[in-house]
Amino acid sequence: MPKSISTCALLAAALLLSNSGCDRKVIMTVGLPSIIGAVLVDSGAGGVNTQAHVDVDGTRLLPVVAVNNDTLTLRDYGSTGEYMWTSSWQGFELRLAPGDPCALHVYQSDGEATTDTVVIPHLPKVVSPDTNFVLGKNQSLSVAWVATEGVDRYELAFDVHYRYYHGGYTTFSMDTTVLVPAGTSTYTLPGAAIFPSDVDSLIEGYCIITVTAETGPNIGSESKGNVNGKGCGYFFASGTQESWCFIGGCPSMDVPCPRLARPTAEQLVERKRALIGRMGQSLKVQSPFSRED
């Protein structure tokens, strides 16, 4: 544990809490701190980049958060009650690469939470469609990629935008995500999902396709997490690659061209938190306790 950073963070939190004006403080906590974190690796013009984002809710003091030996930076925090804190942590350019094992550590004043080890997946290489492909009206969109070892599943995201004519110029937009099992290397998005029945004359547009390899728990489908010790929740790793194709033809100057805006680790965590909410599962173990200082 990085002791110097830990001491600074805990002292800072203690100073914030000591100004409450109460001679006798009663700390009420419910369950264990809830933790959700992601490590994301992707490739860009500068090579492979690895980043992390972690949300921690329900700690008595601000913790210290690290992925392996890389201590993350406190991005945001707030009080959720007397001696109860929520915090967000992030790290960029971590000393990790595809194939490396990693674990999340949350060092707290009253105990440590740590996760099972997950292996950062290798980036899935998208081989079809390429950026010269033009999708025609009512045509299904087939995606193919090179499958990699050590992957638990793939997540495919489709961001569709195009213009068509139906008694007037109309814009169609769709953002959808599907999960496919490990070992899969192809997926077809049906034409009926891309082109509603009222699409007459297809004009121009594009589809951005994101293929993400994931390792770790399947958040949103399983309630059992991989956090041990003083906490509960989820920790996973992802590797992302993108491609895109035209729809109906090359967009004109007044239609935005595709932008390869890869998701950040923070956006991945936000998406998973939304899945947890829809799943109706609480990250917290309902075992209330109280303590007096």
Give the DSSP letter string of 170-218.
EEEEEEEEEEEETT--EEEE-HHHHS-TT--EEEEEEEEEEEEEEES--
Per-residue pLDDT, 6: 41
Per-residue pLDDT, 48: 75
Instruction: Name the CATH topology of 125-225+239-266.
Output: Immunoglobulin-like (2.60.40)
The model carries a pTM of: 0.78
The dihedral sign for the CA sequence 41, 43, 49, 52: negative
Q: Which helix (H) or strand (E) holds 77?
A: strand 73-81
Pick from 56, 67, 77: which is nearest to 12 by CA? 77
Q: Could you list the mean pLDDT of each consecutive 10-residue stretch along the chain, which spans 293 residues?
A: 42 35 39 92 74 95 95 93 89 91 95 96 91 91 91 93 87 91 95 90 90 92 87 94 86 60 85 79 38 33
Per-residue pLDDT, 17: 34
Hey, what are 143's tokens?
Answer: 């995606």
Classify residue 229 as exposed, middle or buried by CB count within 10 Å of its CB (0-12, 13-18, 19+): middle
Q: Which CATH architecture has domain 3-44+54-120?
A: Sandwich (2.60)
- Tell whether omega for the bond before 129 is within 30 degrees of 0, i.e. cis: yes
Cα(47)–Cα(263) distance, integer angstroms: 16
Q: Which helix (H) or strand (E) holds 275?
A: helix 265-279
Angle at the Cα of 231 from the Cα atoms of 228 and 232, rounded to 5 degrees: 75
Hey, what are 87's tokens?
Answer: 């915090």
Per-residue pLDDT, 7: 39
Cα(169)–Cα(202) distance, integer angstroms: 10
* Domain regions of the chain by residue span: 3-44+54-120, 125-225+239-266
